[in-house]
Amino acid sequence: MNKVAERVWHLAEPVVTKLGYSLWDVEYVKEAGVWFLRIYIDKQGGITIDDCEAVSRTLDPILDEEDPIPSSYTFEVSSAGAERALRRASDFAAFIGHLVEVRLYKAMDGQKEFVGNLVSGDDDHVAIDVGGTAYRFDRSAVANVRLRLSF
């Protein structure tokens, strides 16, 4: 997590929690020449547009006052989503046994994408089971890990 996202996390977490949600992630990224600050929230039963609006309206004046980002940016509040990214050890712990997609920076065994059940994950490694075959990846080799829905 970059320093801006980390600072915003500390500002946003008590606000999001007080409103009855959990803070899933904070991103501060540049896309097509525009900076975006994205807050991802979650709650039991899912997030609605009204939930996102409530967090946005409450958090926006705090961000304006604290001014953690000196330049202009687009502020968005969103659901963590059903196929959310798993980044922290606590994210992995919450979804042990769930189907995940692991994407690598470089191919391993001729592929860059692996889909299987999450066995473990922490700051150093991610382990999955793909049809009875165990895979363990160094986190430094992993581009991202996301929950994967199966129908």
End-to-end, the C-alpha distance of the chain in Å comes to: 32
> Mean pLDDT across the stretch 38-63?
96
Token pair, residue 31, equals 């896309």
pLDDT above 80 (res 79): yes
pLDDT above 90 (res 11): yes
Q: Provide the residue type at 57 as one letter.
A: R
State the pLDDT at residue 151: 73
2 falls in which pLDDT band (50, 70, 90)?
confident
Domain enclosing residue 121, as ranges: 89-147
143 and 113, same domain (yes or no): yes
Kindly state whether residue 84 falls inside one of the protein's structural domains: no
1 falls in which pLDDT band (50, 70, 90)?
low
Average pLDDT of the chain to the nearest whole number: 94
State the pLDDT at residue 70: 84
- pTM value? 0.82
Percentage of the chain beyond pLDDT 90 is 91
Write out pLDDT tens, residues 89-126. 999 999 999 999 999 999 998 999 999 999 999 989 99
Separation of alpha carbons 151 and 143, rounded Å: 25
135 falls in which pLDDT band (50, 70, 90)?
very high
Region at 113 (left for phi over 0; alpha for psi -120 to 50; beta for the rest): beta
39-67 residues labelled b (16+ CB within 10 A) or e (exposed): bbbbbeeebeeebbebbbeebeeebeeee
The last residue of a domain, from among 56, 79, 102: 79
State the pLDDT at residue 96: 97
49 and 104, same domain (yes or no): no
pLDDT above 90 (res 134): yes
25 and 61, same domain (yes or no): yes
State the pLDDT at residue 22: 95
Separation of alpha carbons 92 and 120, rounded Å: 7
* The total number of structural domains that make up the chain: 2
44 and 101, same domain (yes or no): no
